Every structure is written in C-alpha cells, then in structure tokens.
Amino acid sequence: MSGEPILSVRDLVVEFRTEHGTVRAVDRVSFDVFPNETVGLVGESGCGKTVTGLAILGLIPNPPGRIASGSIRLAGRELVGLPEGELRKLRGREMAMIFQEPMTALNPVFTIGSQMIDILRRYKGLSRGQARAAAIELLAKVGIPAPAQRIDEYPHQLSGGMRQRVVIAMALSCDPKLIVADEPTTALDVTTQAQVLEQIVRLQQEFRMAMILVTHDLGVVAETCQRALVMYCGRVAEKADIAPLFAHPRHPYTAGLLQSLPRVGQQAHQDLPVIPGMVPDLLDLPAGCRFAERCARRDARCDRELPELDGEADSPSRVACFHPL
C-alpha cells in the first residue's frame, strides 16, 4: 500500500431507531482504503456491511438512522457532519455507489444515453456532443457491444448484466476516487457475474480507483479484493490481506464460514461443518463477544467482555477474539 489512504473510517457508529428501541447497526468500525486497491466488506445479512457503505456516501436515511459518532475522511476531508448539499457535490465526482439492483439507479423512462449525458454535462461541463461521445466511449469500456446503437435504448431493452454495466459506466463517468459497490453481481447469473466481475477488476486497475466491495460471497472476495473485513453483528471480527484470511483465518467465525461452504470438486455426501445456532438479535445483544454462543472456543471471559481488534491500528492483520486460531 502506498502513501496516504484515500478513505479513512474511524470508530464509525451508525444507529437506527426502531419501534422496539435503538439498534446499533455499525459499532465502532475502523478501516482505511488506499488508492488502487479493493477492500471487501464481508458478512451475512444484518452484519452492518451495507450500512457501512451507505454511511460513507452519506446515504443513511435520517430518520430513522444516523451516524452517532466516528469519523469518515475522504482524501483528508471530514464527511461526517457535512451538510447534504456538500455531500451531494461529492457524490458522483469524488465517490460513487453501485447497487445490487441496477434498476434502482436507472430511470426507466429515459434512454441510457440521456441519463449518462446528463451526468457528464452537469459534472464535467461537457457540451451535448462531447458528452455523447464520452458516454459511448464509457459504454465501450465496460464491454457493451455496439455502444453507439445501445446508447439510445431504454433500460428495459437491456439484460440484467448489460444494465449493471451501464450503472458501472455511470459510476465511472466522473472519475471518482472511490467506488462503493454493494453486492454488484448478486442479482446476476454466474456466467454474467463472471463477465461483470472481470470488467470491474480491469476497470479498477485502469482507472486506479479505490473500491469497497460489499458482499456476502466469499468466492467473489477471494477473486477481486486485496484485503477484507469480516463483519459480524455490526462489528469487525477480523481484517486481513486476502491470502492469509483464506489460508489461515484467525477468527472462529471466519473459519466457520469458510468451512461451511460447499465447494465444487469437494467430496460430496458428507455433512458440511456448520456454525450452530444463529445470529443474535441486534436489539438483544449479549454483554460479551457477539459470536460467543455459537463459538466452540468460548470461555467465561467471552461471555463477560467484548473483544476489541488486537494489534496496532495499521497492522495488516487484526482479529477481535480472545482465543483466535
């Protein structure tokens, strides 16, 4: 990793008010993202990975949600507490988001061309003709065949994979420093997913962007990220470079997740190792380690105390466990 991080998240806490009380969806999460790298945020539903991504973009719906404390710095600039108007200027130019469902980002009543040209004119001050040429070039970059024709089509005329490419092209259109991609290929079929992931990796390198990839799929993380944070119940359980994370997971939760995956080519008809039980309710969290009741390495201390990430803040591998593997 080189130089200064492009994004620095410190002790981020995001809370949501619900009928039954306040839920802490993200609980003191810290990490950095450097230029030209992809960091994975992995975990199961409700672990806080998506909320973390939304918080970075300033997209937490308020009410019911709010960033309760912590700091998010993009290229040195503090984003927490920034007025909505300022954030809106940053979104698109400095940072962009790719959602799971491409139709959430596309307007069905306009052609993809008019939507892209709009963005390019507003943010880059291009003329209509220049913007159209730039849009066609971007569509070609994300691998859309016959972009000069496709640009005049409506979103419904494109397949799911093509739509997601258009969204990626739109996200790239203003050369953002950071892209947050939230399950960008989860709604796609495997062969299409392979195409789009390959494209994302290639573009990320070409544009030398920083990217945060939010996903539940450990396979996708292994193939696209350099580093990852494994989240559980709003907290970071473990963070590490990809190779050691998969070869020697230190948190029992990470290890359990990896073991419970059926793998192509593995001996079939044997029971899969499971993580017993289920994720605790965020409204009714245990006092100690949140993974304790599902953990084989649990002892009395785990029930009493909440483990913090070990080691130095900038060390490459950290785990929040009293009895790591």
CB count within 10 Å of CB 58 equals 20
Q: Is 198 in the site for another protein (CB under 8 A)?
A: yes
CA distance 27 to 24: 6
For the chain, what's the residue count? 325
Supply the minimum distance, in Å, between the C-beta of residue 256 and another protein. Answer: 7
Supply the minimum distance, in Å, between the C-beta of residue 185 and another protein. Answer: 9
Binding another protein (rule: CB under 8 A), the pick from 217, 293, 323, 324 is: 217
> Which range, of 1-9, 68-76, 191-199, 305-313, touches another protein by CB under 8 A?
191-199
Phi and psi at residue 150, in whole multiples of 5°?
-60, -25
CA distance 195 to 229: 25
Q: Is 257 in the site for another protein (CB under 8 A)?
A: yes
User: What's at 297, amino acid-wise?
Assistant: R
Q: Is 190 in the site for another protein (CB under 8 A)?
A: yes
Q: Is 308 in the site for another protein (CB under 8 A)?
A: no
Integer CA distances (angstroms), 210 to 130, 151, 179, 224, 325, in order: 27, 27, 6, 12, 31
Query: What is the arrangement of strands in the sheet containing 7-18, beginning at the earlier edge strand?
Result: 21-33, 7-18, 65-74, 77-78
Residue placing its CB nearer to another protein in the complex, 59 or 201: 201
Tell me how far the alpha carbon of residue 225 is from its chain's centroid: 11
Residues 99-138 that bind another protein (CB under 8 A): none
Supply the minimum distance, in Å, between the C-beta of residue 310 and another protein. Answer: 23
Supply the minimum distance, in Å, between the C-beta of residue 324 and another protein. Answer: 19
Residues forming the site for another protein (CB under 8 A)? 44-45, 145, 159, 161-162, 189-195, 197-198, 216-223, 242-243, 246-247, 256-258, 260-266, 268-269, 271-276, 278-279
